[in-house]
Structure 1
Amino acid sequence: MNRIMVVDDEAIQRRVLGKMIREYLPGCEVVEASNGKTALDIVQTAAFDVIFTDIKMPIMDGFDFIEHMKKLSTATRIIILSSYRYFEYAQRALRLGAFDYVLKPVKEESIGLLLDKVRESIEKEKRVSPEEISREQFHISMNAYYGHLLGEWVQNGVSVAKFQELEQQYSLEPSGAVIITRIEDNTPGDLYPEGLDDIRGAMPGMLVSMLSSENRVVSFFASNPKLTMISVMTAKRPDEVITGAVLAALEEYGQRLSDNYQLSFAIGVSNVRADLFREASVCYNEALDAADSRYFLGGDRVVTHGSVSGRIAPLHYDFHKDEELFKEYIRTDKADLLLKHTDDLFRRFLENGLPYREQWLKSIIQLVLHIAPVIKGFVSDEAYTSVLREAENSLTACASFKECQEQFLEILRGFMKMMHNSRGRKHAEVIEKCVNYIEEHYTGDISLEHAASLLYFSPNYLSMIFKSHLGVSFTKYLSEIRLEKAVQLLGDSDMKVYEIAGKVGFKDEKYFHRVFKAKYGLTPDEYRKKNALPLSPS
């Protein structure tokens, strides 16, 4: 594709969509127009592969523009920019011959999917006759229209008139349920290099072939980047919808998908509703929850909402105590405790039920991000950022709760290894930073705790490595520096002793006198009167 136009009276919408297209197709020219009339003038001077157009625009709206465009060029694919609020407009546009439509606000993944779909259509067009192209374009437009209408019904509900249209098109019965088939692998394109088109093409027919002729089912695909097929199964009576035979057929269907494509599939089945027209969206969400539950349960590919509904619950868990324990095990190189606590933690997660999958992923990623500062003093900022990004991606890509647990443990072991490999060198750097910090701030109210927080260490651990490297404690070293500075001021200035004490960081003059005499055998006044060189410690 060489040239694409974006037609929208909202300048921000045009620019955002244009930017997405340019990023997805770097070599493609993207032209913008603010209404249908301006767009038609531009089309007179140049050919376009794709035109994205809004419907409601001044001067010339999207409908008039589409009708004019079909007279000028049948090769240009027109994609509608729409919203749920104006869904009926998108339906009309598809009937007029629009290629597809995308919902506002536009998402990057939707644009990528649509542009890939257009590219495949253009390539296919080169291989078939004009008559076949005309029939295929009509078929594609009608499929897109009914696919979007089905999606609107099960996700948000539609008017009686729209449902009657679906009912007539697909011979829907009153009772029914929704079935979700979804690839669990988050990188199916990498696992199955030949692409996902043949999987998408095979899934509906494979499902029908597994079911008996009495089962009435219609399938379509969700408009998201993850391969998710939504199937609506209907029957005259509720007890005829999801039978034991149907569940067995669904299990066989899932097994065949996995065997054929070497990917992990989850199948979620909603409860049956006697009035599916009004309760389709409830069934859809139940099927999603059931499919999500397989992530935690493992085992059978098919999960019914009835088998998990009493176990699904929001996740309520305070990670703070676990964060600190994990940090301590990593710092002290205790791999056995790291493994044990990971096992205990993941077991506790499921004790109160099955959390919502997206909530769970956000929580476990946040836990890792809160543990990660334990290595911040041991790696560069660039490496630290890269480690966090890789950790988040690897956890998101896990296809199951068990795999997530293994990946979580692997990430923390990686943190431990980083510390182990660079501990000696980094400890020296940390102590150098700590010493510099004391040299620069000894006059102020500084403490081991504050220094530890600046260096991303616990006070106990910083105290341990400080004494290991310098042979004295942090507090003792700070006191020595302050006394050395005090000696310099006693000899080089006429400041009073109490002023010197405050100047070098001693807030208590009596304490200053005591530690000074303990080190030099003289009080500060006696030391100044003798005007001697610094004495050796007694």
Structure 2
Amino acid sequence: MYTILIVDDEKIERDGIRGLIAEMKYELHVIEAENGEKALEYLRLNPVDILLTDIKMPFMGGLELAEQASLAQPSLEIIIYSAYGEFDYARRALYTNASSYLLKPIDMDEFAGVMSGVIQKCSDKATQQLRTAEIMQGYQKGLEYEKEKWLTDLLNGINVISDAGTLPFGGGPAALMLIDFKERYFDRNYEAFEEIVQQLTAGEYEMLNLNEYQSVLIVPCPPSGGREKIRGLSERMAERIAERFYRHCCIVFSPVISDWQEISACYEQMEQTLDYKFFFEDTVVLFAGDDFAGRIPDIVSAETLIADINQFINLGEHAGASRSIELLFNHLSRNGSSSAIYVKYLCSDLVRNAFEQSGRRQKTDFQQTVERIFKSDSILDVKEVLLQALSEIEPEGGAQGESKRHLVQQVIRIVEKDFRDDLSLEAIAGRVSLNPTYLSHVFKKETGQSLIKFITLQRLERAQHLLGSTNMKIVDIAENVGYWSSSYFCLTFKKYYGISPQKYREMLDE
């Protein structure tokens, strides 16, 4: 409904025009003013679509009002009405800012013609504004998509940096934060999470949502004191998330990066650091590059760590085993209750497993390594012997390679069968009896992509099939492929394919 402001110092005239509007059933919201000054005061504070004003009024005449009104609201449609003797005077106003004119006494047919024309102009402008808004919205979404793609390429090491002017924060130093949840979070809480980010960063940030579980933030950070700043920001964010959503999360923050070409390597280090989250039950903030051996909680038992080491050995991942050995010995040193003989026995058992898995059955090699372990004078010497032994034992590629391929194929079958379910890394790891950290490591090494990304692609490929082969509503397709939120599904679909699900369907129909 459009708003019309009727301005006349004669109430009877205003009542007459209001009556004509009602009689001709124009859907207009009518406002009245008794002189130009009051009308202009209203116009400066309130949106109006049509101004209908007499010429001769006290304080401020209609022509002056029309001039001031068009400055206050440039899109305003203005109708001037006047007595016959003032016609020439009124006609001159048509060459300035008035839309049309009426003569007193008002003829009903003439009034109907003028009003219909002005209302149509208002309608045309509203349509054009809507089209412009849609174009701008599409353009803005296109820019957001391009920015997300650019950030994704940046994290993945694709060289997309041309000059500092195209970089966030003018290419100045920045730091990254990787926010990770064990349960699905971002598909339902992305906007609420962004509110927290806005408040904590004062709007200075770039954010890339990776999936339902993870998002990455990039924030400007000074080289001096930057690490303390990003640590503080990470800790405050973890607190706000816990207060508002009662959720635990892991936040990994990076060193300050001055060279944006280093972001990919830094992000890779952050992903490796994220593996330590499984040793913490509650919210934890970690710095990428720290030695976490001293931070593993006492609730983690030596038996758990040994089982993890053996899993790595069984899969031929001696680098992962070495990392877990560091954790084990730190745990043993901190605990202090294990005897030297017990520690040496544990290490001998790990070496035996490594020899067996590698295919090296030489008894003398094994015995020599065990003798070195038992002759060691300190727990640190035992650790060094164990690490050296692992580095010298080459895994037998065939059997262990086949074991890893079998594991990955088992995981792929689970995802292909149950992609509609709430599949988390932890849930799948439980089904294949493997530590989530090592499942993630092996899956990415064998397939070249993370397990979470693989699940996302399975869901989107199924969505593509349904868009092309059925008439299902998009909201139903989103639910069918495992998304709780149809809007999040649409955003994810466009992020991967560059177009919305609706546009994809229309493209197939052409």
Fold match (TM-score > 0.5): no
TM-score (norm 2): 0.33
What TM-score, normalized by structure 1, do the two folds share? 0.32
